[in-house]
Every structure is written in C-alpha cells, then in structure tokens.
Structure 1
Amino acid sequence: MLNPVPQNDVQINRIHSGAICKEIGKELSAALGPQSGELSPRLLALIKGLAKVDPRKAPRKFDGI
C-alpha cells in the first residue's frame, strides 16, 4: 500500500533546500559567536584529506588547502 501524501505537504527543490541550509548556518554561526568558526585539528585534517581525494566534495571554504 502506498503512503498517501499529506494535503499540506510542501515539496522544495535542491536549490531552495541549499539556500535554506545556508541561511540556517549563517544564523547558527551568528548565535554561537566567533569561536564557532574554529575547527578542531582533527576535523581540519579530515577536510584537507577530503579535498585531496575528491576536490569536488570538499567544502568551498576549504578549497585549495
């Protein structure tokens, strides 16, 4: 049996979903303050490794690290 779609269900596309995530990130960063932008050494190393393995999947902020 198929699950019926609720009548008030809202469908958004990839572009709008990305924009919403970006805005939430901005607001969260502002709420947490400047220390929230600092990454742990381990997380930074993982991001650098990701950029080396597949540059397309690395966050834009860390391109070219």
Structure 2
Amino acid sequence: MKTTQERLEKIEEWIYEFETYRIMKETIYEVVYEVINDFYKETGHKISVEIKQEIRKKIKEKYNL
C-alpha cells in the first residue's frame, strides 16, 4: 500500500509531466505559426486552411499531442 507521501510525489510527477507537455505543445504551435507568418511575409502568398490543418495534423501525429 502506498503512503500519502508516495502519492503526493506521484501527483507532483504528473503535474511536472503535464506542464512539460503543455509547454512543448505551445512551443511547437508557436514555431509553426511563426513559420507560416514568415512564409507569408517573404512570398506574399497565404497558406490555405487545408495546408494549415494538415500541418497541425502531422504535428499531432508526430508528437502525440
């Protein structure tokens, strides 16, 4: 049987993992957003919604988000 301390340590571990996951996810999306904006600034061409959705889908698959 687990002690209260062991349970608290496990909860702290989960919180840390969740925060790490959240930060990683936000960072990845920020980078993608910046790349899309830079592409538009450099070329004057917008990226279609379909391509943006495909990019997000591939990121989710690759990083299990």
Under a length normalisation based on structure 1, what TM-score does the superposition of the two structures give? 0.35
Q: TM-score, normalised by structure 2?
A: 0.35
Q: Choose 1 or 2 for highest CA Rg.
A: 2
